[in-house]
Amino acid sequence: MGKDANKVEVYIKFKGIEQVFAGKPEEVWRLVNRFFAKVFPSLKLLEKIRLTVDLEKLIDDSKGIIEISEDGSHVMIPRKKLTDKEFLILNLLGMYIGFKLGISERDYLTRDELREKLGKSSKIISTRLSELCRDGLAAKDEEKYRITNFGVKILQKEILPKIRAKISS
């Protein structure tokens, strides 16, 4: 038996946190307990304020408003009942959901694709997309636009209820 005979090594991997503890069993036991005492309260607090998207709820909230197929997202509300910004953000939401479900290979639309869907001039599209980006609801990467997690939350809390009220009247 060598000098490492009484040595213990513990590897912990939890939600992206990795830690290795090595030493005498009593020492490792204390370190592991201290690790969990620090990490779990912090994780519980973080979960309370972390911006996450509940995909199942999002799909339920979007039912009847958007539909997704292999060829993209489709807004099912008559165009005249929606503002340009609502129409654009719903199309981005459809791509987001389609990507998360593995139906679509991408979570974005280009400005030209959005112009085609909206049927308005490039100037109007650029203005509305700039407003969505400025408000943090969408993000632009080159000429690709995607909805942000913040945009999804605002859409669920504020925009979808307004749309539902519009279409029910």
- Answer yes or no: is pLDDT of 166 > 90: no
Q: Provide the pLDDT for residue 26.
A: 84
pLDDT in tens, 127-138: 999 999 999 999
Q: Provide the pLDDT for residue 1.
A: 47
- Answer yes or no: is pLDDT of 74 > 80: yes
Q: Provide the pLDDT for residue 105.
A: 92
Alpha-helical (H) ranges within 50-107 are 55-62, 84-100
CATH number at residue 160: 1.10.10.10
The answer as to whether 161 is a domain residue is yes
Q: Provide the pLDDT for residue 97.
A: 96
E-only strand ranges, 8-159: 8-14, 17-23, 66-69, 72-75, 109-110, 138-141, 144-147
Range of the domain at 34: 8-49
The answer as to whether 3 is a domain residue is no
State whether 142 and 61 are in the same domain: yes
- Answer yes or no: is pLDDT of 9 > 50: yes
Confidence tier at 37 by pLDDT (50, 70, 90): confident
Structural domain tally of the chain? 2
Determine the Cα–Cα distance for residues 157 and 93; give it in Å rounded to an integer.
Answer: 14
pLDDT in tens, 85-130: 999 999 999 999 999 999 999 999 999 999 999 999 999 999 999 9
**Greater pLDDT, 3 or 153:** 153
- Answer yes or no: is pLDDT of 140 > 90: yes
